[in-house]
A and B are shown apart, each in its own frame.
Chain A
Amino acid sequence: MPSATAFIRGWFSEPAPTFEIRKPSARWGTPQPHQSRRQLRVVEVVQETPNTRTFVLEPVAGTAPLTYRAGQHLTVLVDAGGTTHRRCYSFSSSPAAGQRPAITVKRMPDGVVSRHLHDHVRTGDTLVATDATGHFTIATDPAAARKVVMVAGGVGITPLISLAETVLREEPQSQVVLLCGNRSEAEIIFRQRLARLEAEFAPRLVVRHAVDVASPGWPGLAGPLDGTRVLETLGDTRADACYVCGPEPMMESVCAALAGAGIGRECVHTERFAYATANTTRIPDHTAEVTFAASGKRVTARAGQTILQAGLEAGIDLPYSCTMGGCGACKVKKVAGTVVTSEPNCLSDREREEGYVLACCSYADSDVTIDHH
């Protein structure tokens, strides 16, 4: 028994150190930088409006070309304050036009990443980003002859201008109606580029600008671009497909109006900038109502409270176990509203498609209805 001898020896001599200095074992090999991260050089910075800038990007020498489809975005990784922040930015360039890939960023007064990009990133700098992802795209078909309506609010124009230009170039018989809402004339993003496109593609492209606050002599629409205004402007234009991207309230109002006008859900495509995608979870900082359909109970989820916490607090007997998104015990079916869910979690793709959410790590972003309980 070596330990018994050691025990006796231990009464007389100092013990060995409690730690060991280690070198990395050969089995780990030499780590390669993470596959999905890549370095992009900023080759040009364009001031579009007082608070938006376009960053034209190029893969650093010796790395794969940056391929993307119109409407997609990439995730920029920025180290600040000791953590890595990840934010998505849509491509504002059109791959169909042979333009260099570019993103257009609005500076948020207290935004971590957008401010960093505006205040510190200059031509020649490199950015760390992921490859392009996203499903807010369009499958173009040269034989198609369709009418596509696009509604943009503020910086929501980025994926839409890319989509519009791509459709116009790749589908010679299709038409695009693009409605752009902005707060003021000075904040209109891509005004000249849109005018040039309009001149090039007339009459297949119609662009209408709306501003919340119009100055005298403003030729466009005056007042916020909400659902009513959109329907009014479209008149009897029949849309085959609609693409909407902008601030949350505007999107809700526009989507409701389109549905009211009889446009099928499957024809309306939306992109939410506020939305969390994997790894970019932002917990909503507002309250929302959660309705449990079976019992008819309604509870108010406070900011930062999960649906599970809100339900349990109201005395609803919701199942749960790990409270960490790992076991699936708290799975509930969501029938209405939007939630933000911490990623990663254990839901399968199928469950996601079927509308299941994990109550323990989902936060109501709008009023939400849960099927059971």
Chain B
Amino acid sequence: MLPDRALASMPSPAARRVRDVFDAMKVATRVENKKVLVDLAPSVARGLLLKEGKQGEPVPMRASHEAYFDFRYQGDYPEMYELYRRAVQNQWDGDRQLDWSTDVDPQNPEKPVFPIELVPMEGLAAHGIHLDHAEQMRFVSDFSCWLLSQFMHGEQGALFASAQVTECVRWTDGKFYGATQVMDEARHLEVFLRYLESKLGKLYQVNDNLFTILDALMRDSRWDMKFLGMQIMVEGLALGAFSMMYQSTREPLLKEMLRYVIQDEARHVHYGVLALKRHFAELSPRELREREDWTFEVACLMRDRFLAHEIYDEWFAGHMTRPQWDQVMSNSPFLTQFRQTMFKRLVPNLEYIGIFSPRIRAHYDKVGLTQYAGGRNASELTAEDLLAA
């Protein structure tokens, strides 16, 4: 652990940097598989240390995958073709089908974008912070913007990743399908951006952990890593998050929008599962192991992304330390439930595609991520266990 007292005597920008370095090292030391470490380290450095996503400038990312041309047009995959047909039939128009004339006031307690229970009242109170009702509404509003901004950044990633994957995938039917996903993701980016810009009026920068994941999978030359990272991890978790948001929001436009997005995302995850199930069946045990380890790291990064450091910086930077904030967030009942819903559907998918061996399960157990899979270990795990990760 970092000596909080030592940091407290430092100028705050420097203390912040020390924490960044420490966080990056924590990720690096957690990774046991050296190959995975080599793959992820540059992205971790760019995301957590250099904070490339937060410089207010375009971020070029060099991709190094191979486009897979096949002029024989073989490699049928009927289930993928069926999914393609479904996608074609279910295209929707975000401009016409959503009622953008809806008035949205994120601070209206009658129709909150997210429930007020989102405020970690008890956790904040433990640090002597008490928000009055108006402040709570403003916090919920900011947190909603933050969350939706992160999903929007994820959608940009999904747009590029699905385009890359369409180039790389080996089945003609997969290429058909992939093109529909590219269109879907463009629409998602469009509606999230439009909602944030025209209804909430605030955009948050990309979270460092999310940036790290996007950076890693955009640059990876192996198509299946892109699939695994985007279709299974990012999209699978987003799907869980969207359904939770769908259920908890009282804002009609967002609810309607999420309903459409969820339908598309469900297809995307299914596509990833179909593709990887076939592909992983042909990999060597060593290759599979590497994918298991890589996935586990991405899962941890994803979990930590919801610690919302951008919100901490904006709201509480002077009032508590970042580790204290991390603890408040980890213990918040609403966010715990949020993480649960997100991770619940992930494990069955990992099992199905064959990268959830007892070995890796122990890792997930250790960091408390399997408690989200059907609540197996939930009763035995405490918040300390969660934080110890």
Contacts and interface: CB of A to CB of B under 8 A. Distances in A.
Interface stretch (B62-70, B160-168, B190-198): B190-198
A346 B263 contact: yes
Contact of B82 (A23, A33, A84, A328): A328
A39 interface: no
A14 B12 contact: yes
B101 A32 contact: yes
B279 interface: no
Interface string A119-153: 00000000000000000000000000000000000
B140 to A, nearest CB: 14
A33 B313 CA distance: 38
A325 B310 contact: no
B51 A19 contact: no
A166 to B, nearest CB: 33
Nearest to A346: B86
Interface of A: 2-4, 6-7, 10-25, 28, 31-35, 37, 79, 82-84, 321-329, 344-346, 348
Contacts of B263: 324-326, 344-346
A240 to B, nearest CB: 37
Nearest to B99: A34
Contact of A18 (B90, B198, B314): B314
Contacts of A326: 262-267, 270
Given A31-B101, A83-B250, A322-B267, A6 B16 contact: no
A324 B225 CA distance: 25
Nearest to A14: B13
A15 B56 CA distance: 12
Interface in B230-254: 239, 243, 250, 252
A45 B100 CA distance: 32
Contacts of B310: 18-19
B89 A22 contact: no
Contacts of B239: 322, 324
Interface of B: 11-14, 16-17, 46, 49-52, 54-57, 82-83, 85-86, 89-90, 96, 98-101, 110-112, 142, 145-146, 149, 194, 196-198, 201-205, 239, 243, 250, 252, 255, 259-260, 262-267, 269-270, 273, 310-311, 313-314, 345
A31 B46 CA distance: 40
A23 B194 contact: no
B338 to A, nearest CB: 17
Contacts of B12: 14
Given A3-B51, A28-B194, A348-B89, 20 more contacts: A2-B55, A6-B51, A10-B16, A10-B51, A15-B16, A15-B54, A17-B314, A19-B202, A19-B310, A19-B314, A22-B197, A23-B197, A24-B194, A28-B198, A31-B101, A321-B273, A323-B345, A327-B83, A327-B270, A328-B86
B246 to A, nearest CB: 10
A83 B250 CA distance: 6
Contacts of A348: 85-86, 89
Contacts of B311: 18
B201 to A, nearest CB: 6
Given A33-B101, A83-B250, A7 B51 contact: yes
Contact of B13 (A11, A35, A321): A11
Contacts of A83: 250, 252, 255
B266 A324 contact: yes
- What are the 3 closest A-B residue pairs judged by CB atoms, nearest first? A326-B266, A322-B266, A31-B100
